Structure 1
């Protein structure tokens, strides 16, 4: 039976895209069935298939004459053989169905086993194999009605009944197959939706980490650079006059206090989910740029500020805040990488041309590079580029042909 089974089971049509989901559902056990449940169903099918022949054998054992003619004995024997074959119907559905149908040609008592095996083929196999098993079912039924015709029912009626029975079994099996395919589809969709949800959660976490890092950098980098600059001055000139030391210490204390306050504000916003509320500290705008420059000048930086903006109060808050961050990042980078170099800050624009922010500082000579530079992560420009991009602008940075470093941003100013 092994070689015949392999030949019949391998004789299947290629799997199309439309039949792929049905194949997944039909080539596997029912999604909600366990091995124990399948075995119980197999036992029930075998018992039901063996019920008629066993009843006849019991009647014969008790002395009843229920089998007289040789063909009746052959019928009983073939039905007895077909009943245990139902146990292997899941492993070789098409083969078992064809064998049982052929044996049922002369075995009326094997009709139950014949119907169960055809139903199994309709559930677990593809249309071509179902068509083969159905054709054998109908053909053997036609032969049976020719060999043992009914004296009360015309041949065409019995042939029609066999066809209707086969069609009913195939329709029932197709319904079960479609149901399993639907269940498999719904479970696959649920699995994909869960994976997509996990990906979205992970992306949201990554975006939140990036946002926290950007806020911490924007708020603290400027203050910490001021602290480092004044502390370095005190270390470089320990013999400075007491009033200069006191003034530098006062600036350090004020910068540390403001850095701590900014840190508290950032943590408060993050704990609140990042939503702007009325009690939050006001965000910087374009009007705060002069104060930022004044603070940097107090730290000893040489800065030339040129602001030429038409109706600065009408600049949108998001654009003004972004412009402030550009200036802040430019001044911070100048203190880190070009300490002592003169810085020029230019802010210009109007409603029609947009807002342009440019920060320039001379590049330090190689011989003038100090070894105690303020460390940086190199992510400030990257985060600033993302911020400018979100505002709809563009950012340029790098050495210019004039020999200085330029940080330039253009921001849209919608009228």
Structure 2
């Protein structure tokens, strides 16, 4: 079935806005051809009038006048196809020269209106054909032959019009389908670009937030500990230098991936579950109190994508604990086995004193939830009974 807008355009010959479109050169050519056809058939019918017996001159002139008016009315066929076809039924009873205009009107009806209109009006036309042949008999044909020829001509014209309508419906449907396909392709491209931007933003956040938090912590320590010993200042400066170097290196890798157009090419190997030890050690070096518990059966068998997701979850949770609960003890627990899944839990004790307000908080947890969902797992987070905070994730394995 055609969409409503296309059906309205096809049946009414107007645009969906209700305004009648301007006729093209092709429309004018078709209308002129239909007019000439109606006139030609009318002229042929007028020659048959001379052979009729008992026909007065006045009636012959009236027949020709009605036929001329019917041919002129053909120019209205696009605007009122139903009305013109209905009017031609009684006109064809009165005038033989209007037969051409009646056929053109029936053809137009079949082209521009659904089958129910064609069935009713075409059926009435076929029903009155025997009456027309009886009232105005053809001198060259027997009664039955004239009726059959007229019925056959009417059926051919109607079928031709219905075929033209079906072809127009097909073209409109294909045109609409092409427009919808282009729209859907554009939407899919926009969605793919949006997903790619979200993935890049999530990766940049996960990679850089950890490094920049280390910079912030040690820079703050230098600012608020002016009495620190030279050894402590040197150690903090070393951590700041290494974190800044690593952050720049990670940023270069992300930019290189963007230029290459493939997230799986170039750069250092992506972190896996085995890199959690280095992540915990780095956090401890930054002054955090981290307890790491790993009860994973055969850690080398963990899929790379699952291990990378677990690493990012632990990294973001440690970063959040460092920002929102500085100085508290953090427990990182990873358990799992093939076929049972991989559980990652990161819990920090309640902070001492007032929790510092960090602008833009919460974006990392949203990214982690999306990352866990993309891996086929789940992630939940929230406050614990003792006012601490916990991040819990379950990822599929096997």
Shorter-chain-normalised TM-score: which range? Answer: 0.7 to 0.9
- Secondary structure at the aligned position of 1:319 is classed as helix
Other structure's SS at 1:150 match: coil
Instruction: Identify the range of structure 1 (138-147 vs 310-319) with the bigger mean alpha-carbon deviation.
Output: 138-147
Counterpart check, 1:131 vs 2:115: no
Comparing 190-199 with 100-109, which one deviates more in the overlay?
100-109
Q: Secondary structure in 2 aligned to 1:358? A: strand
Cα drift, residue 351 of structure 1: 2.2
2:340 paired with 1:356: no
Contact 1:23 1:126 in 2 (8 A): no
Does structure 2 retain, via aligned residues, the 8 Å contact 1:88–1:96? yes
Q: In structure 1, how many angstroms separate the alpha carbons of the residues matched to 2:4 and 2:368?
A: 52
Alignment gaps of 5+ in structure 1: 1-15, 58-66
Residue 332 in structure 1 maps to residue 319 in structure 2: yes
1:168 positional shift: 0.8
Q: Which residue of 256, 280, 301 corresponds with 2:267? A: 280
Indicate which of 360, 368, 371 corresponds to 1:384.
Answer: 368
Long gaps (5+) in structure 2 = 47-54
- CA drift at 1:216: 0.5
CA distance, structure 1, for counterparts of residue 326 and residue 293 of structure 2? 21
Cα pair 2:349 2:388 within 8 Å, conserved: yes
Query: Which residue is 1:222 aligned to?
Result: 210
Distance change >3 Å, CA 244–CA 113, structure 1 → 2 = same
Partner of 1:41: 30
Q: Is it true that 1:121 corresponds to 2:142 in the alignment?
A: no
Q: Distance in 2 between matches of 1:370 and 1:111?
A: 94
Deviation at 1:326, TM superposition (A): 1.6
Cα offset for 1:298?
1.2
In structure 2, do the counterparts of structure 1 residues 34 and 201 end up closer, same or farther at CA, with 3 Å as the change threshold?
A: farther
Q: Which residue of 2 aligns with 1:199?
A: 187
Q: Which of 167, 176, 187 matches 1:188?
A: 176
Are 2:2 and 2:169, in contact at CA under 8 Å, matched by a contact in 1? no
Distance in 2 (CA, whole Å) between partners of 1:56 and 1:322 is: 87
1:295 to 265, 277, 282: 282
Q: What pairs with 1:4-403 in structure 2 (closer than 5 Å)?
A: 24-28=9-13, 34-51=23-40, 69-277=57-265, 279-365=266-352, 368-369=353-354, 374-403=358-387
Q: Which moved more, 1:124-133 or 1:158-167?
A: 124-133
Number of residue pairs matched by the alignment:
386
Answer with 132-141 or 182-191: which moved more: 132-141
CA separation of 1:209/1:39 partners in 2, compared to 1, >3 Å: closer, same or farther?
same
- Paired residue secondary structure (2:97): helix
Cα root mean square deviation, aligned: 2.9
Aligned to 1:109, the other structure's residue is in SS state coil
